[in-house]
Amino acid sequence: MLEQKTTSKFPTDNLFTMLVKARRNLGVFQHHDGITGTSKDHVVNDYGSKLETAIKSAQNVMEHSAAYLLYQNDYSADNDS
């Protein structure tokens, strides 16, 4: 039987929180006003900002996940790119 690690250097809680926020921002962006183009300019700018934040968060999660999978023994969450 495989032993389960008791500690992990992978920042699960932080990355999960980032994903939840990214999903919420994407949901706001997909609101009908954002899709149909009936929003005011400042709202469109806010949607764009939220979408950019969501994309960057998702990219960060993917980078950490790939680094952890590829370099488990040498992985450090402190090595942000």
Average pLDDT over residues 26-38: 76
Query: Quick one: DSSP state of residue 10?
Result: S
In a domain, 31, yes or no: yes
Name which residue leads in pLDDT, 78 or 64.
64
C-beta separation of 64 from 10 below 8 A: yes
In a domain, 50, yes or no: yes
Q: What is the CATH number of the domain that holds 55?
A: 1.20.1270.50
pLDDT over 70, % of the chain: 83
User: Does 81 score more than 50 pLDDT?
Assistant: no
Name which residue leads in pLDDT, 40 or 7.
40
In a domain, 1, yes or no: no
Report pTM: 0.72
CB atoms inside a 10 Å sphere around CB 55: 13
**Maximum distance among all alpha carbons in the chain?**
59
3-state secondary structure of 74: helix
> Residue 60 has what pLDDT?
94
Give the whole-angstrom CA distance, residue 17 versus residue 29. Answer: 19
> Residue 3 has what pLDDT?
53
In a domain, 19, yes or no: yes
Give the whole-angstrom CA distance, residue 56 versus residue 80. Answer: 13
